[in-house]
């Protein structure tokens, strides 16, 4: 199973987090804005405890209606310079289909400064009569979706509006490229920070240079040998492509016993998503599928969601060729980065991402708590 990230509890009446400074612990690794790949964020961009708090409050909040408001959601996304597929209405529709215990409660907010935003949100039952709110489940990126004026102050205002005794816990997973900065907020009683990591490959140069400068030497050799063996790759979102990736994934799950995996219904839900948003990639050898991957496309960002291979032909290295072609295709289509995602504790998976030049990048989960449940375990 994937190792749980460490939690850092922030108490607003103290100027530091227990053990380490707020700045070092929360932002030591957070970086990678487009155009600045590989660089750490400057301390000038970080608002530390004690910074002035903007007086932002929620003026209006309403539930989004699935059929009526998906186009409104997409219009809000167009205001952003970039976003992940996880932040689209299509991803939330997939979650609704495959997570029967989670109820979609996406909300539209207008704030006291005139800003407006959408918050993708799901509620799940926890203990007795309480429910937990997630933006978003499965450790996928959510948060407020609005224009450039949206800040951490707006997120705090939304949290104050949402958290109650009935829903005492509200988790937000921030996109690694989200510009929100954490600031001191005296008006909110408690929150916790969980730091996670992923690997991201900047697509900031032609594929020929990515091949030479990012891919490890042994990886390039393996890919050439695989192509010489006659392995071909293509994407196929038709029902037969879905059945192929399900079969490969089912066999891989037997090998990954004890590791969190997608339910097979997840792959069935992909058939209704347009090919410009999600593609099922398949590698074939002698007309036999030997590897597959599910790749999602946002604005500027590509998400490597799931992958599997036939363990009986692992020496062919079809997964490496498949990933190389996915990267080349993303660059040709003008995307700025490829996010490899979490490795679910599988060392081989993390090694694969490393040899393709993926840079370890931090992203945060913020847990907002009702004052009466601050004693909850740090999980």
Alpha-carbon span 121 to 134, nearest angstrom: 6
Residues 55-72: pLDDT tens digits? 899 999 999 876 557 888
β-strand partners of 361: 198
Q: What pairs with residue 308 in β-bridges?
A: 292
Confidence (pLDDT) at 132: 95
pLDDT of residue 15: 26
Lowest-pLDDT choice from 122-131, 216-225, 285-294: 122-131
- pTM assigned to the model: 0.83
pLDDT at 281: 98
Q: How many CB atoms lie within 10 A of CB 9?
A: 14
Q: Give mean pLDDT, residues 37-55.
A: 39
Distance CA 4, CA 67 (A): 36
Check pLDDT > 50 for residue 12. no
Task: Render pLDDT for 168-210 as a digit per residue (tens, 0 to 9).
Answer: 999 999 999 987 755 544 455 578 888 888 999 999 999 999 9
Q: What is the pLDDT of residue 258?
A: 57
% of the chain beyond a pLDDT of 70: 78
The encoded tokens of residue 168 equal 């005492």
Strand order of the sheet with strand 107-111?
A: 58-63, 107-111, 116-119, 145-146
Higher-pLDDT residue of 5, 48: 5
Q: Identify the burial level of 223 via C-beta atoms within 10 angstroms of its C-beta, where 0-12 means exposed, 13-18 middle and 19 or more buried.
A: buried
Does the structure show a pLDDT above 70 at 8? Answer: no
pLDDT of 288 higher than 50: yes
- Taking residues 70-87, report their average pLDDT: 92
Which sequence spans correspond to the domains of the chain?
7-197+361-373, 205-335
Residue 40 has pLDDT above 50, yes or no: no
Longest dimension (CA), the chain: 65
Q: Please state the length of the chain.
A: 379
Who wins on pLDDT, 209 or 271?
209
Spatial separation of the C-alpha atoms in residues 291 and 185, rounded to whole Å: 48
Distance (Å, whole) CA 123 – CA 120 = 11
Query: Is the pLDDT score of 213 beyond 70?
Result: yes
* Pairwise CA distance, residues 224 & 214, whole Å: 16
Place of tokens 């909110």: 188
Distance CA 338, CA 331 (A): 9
* C-alpha–C-alpha distance, residues 341 and 194, integer Å: 16
3-state SS, residue 42: coil
Which CATH number applies to 7-197+361-373?
3.40.630
Q: Do domains 7-197+361-373 and 205-335 have the same CATH topology?
A: yes
Cβ neighbours of 218 (radius 10 Å): 10
**Cα–Cα distance measured from residue 158 to residue 378, given in angstroms and rounded to the nearest whole number:** 22
Contacts of residue 46, Cβ cutoff 8 Å, sequence gap at least 6? 23, 27, 181, 182
Mean pLDDT of 348-365: 87
- Report the C-alpha gap between 160 and 8 in whole angstroms: 20
To the question of domain 205-335 being in CATH 3.90.1150.10, the answer is no
pLDDT at 353 over 90: no
């Amino acid at each position: 199973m994937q190792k749980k990230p460490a939690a850092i509890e922030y108490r607003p009446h103290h100027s530091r987090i227990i053990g380490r400074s707020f700045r070092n612990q929360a932002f030591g690794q957070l970086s990678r804005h487009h155009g600045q790949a590989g660089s750490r964020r400057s301390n000038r961009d970080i608002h530390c405890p004690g910074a002035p708090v903007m007086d932002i409050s929620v003026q209006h909040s309403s539930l989004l209606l699935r059929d009526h408001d998906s186009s409104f959601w997409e219009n809000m996304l167009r205001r952003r310079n970039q976003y992940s597929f996880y932040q689209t209405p299509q991803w939330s529709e997939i979650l609704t289909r495959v997570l029967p215990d989670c109820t979609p409660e996406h909300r539209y907010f207008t704030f006291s400064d005139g800003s407006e935003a959408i918050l993708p949100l799901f509620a799940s039952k926890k203990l007795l009569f309480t429910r937990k709110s997630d933006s978003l489940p499965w450790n996928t990126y959510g948060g407020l979706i609005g224009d450039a004026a949206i800040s951490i102050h707006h997120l705090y205002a939304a949290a104050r509006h949402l958290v109650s005794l009935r829903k005492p816990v509200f988790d937000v997973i921030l996109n690694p490229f989200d510009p929100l900065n954490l600031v001191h907020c005296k008006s909110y009683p408690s929150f916790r920070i969980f730091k996670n990591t992923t690997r991201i490959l900047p697509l900031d140069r032609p594929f020929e240079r990515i091949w030479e400068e990012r891919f490890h030497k042994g990886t390039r050799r393996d890919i050439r040998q695989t192509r010489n063996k006659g392995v071909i790759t293509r994407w196929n979102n038709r029902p037969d492509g879905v059945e192929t990736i399900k079969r490969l994934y089912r066999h891989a799950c037997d090998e990954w016993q004890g590791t969190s995996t997608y339910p097979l219904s997840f792959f069935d839900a992909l058939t209704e998503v347009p090919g410009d948003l999600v593609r099922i990639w398949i590698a074939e050898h002698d007309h036999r599928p030997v590897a597959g991957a599910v790749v999602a496309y946002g604005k500027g960002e590509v998400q490597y969601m799931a992958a599997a291979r036939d363990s009986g032909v692992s020496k062919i290295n079809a997964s490496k060729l498949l990933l190389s072609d996915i990267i080349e295709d993303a660059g040709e289509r003008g995307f700025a980065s490829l996010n490899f995602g979490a490795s679910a504790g599988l060392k081989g998976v993390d090694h694969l991402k490393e040899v393709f030049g993926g840079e370890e990048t931090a992203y945060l989960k913020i847990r907002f708590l009702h004052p009466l449940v601050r004693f909850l375990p740090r999980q």
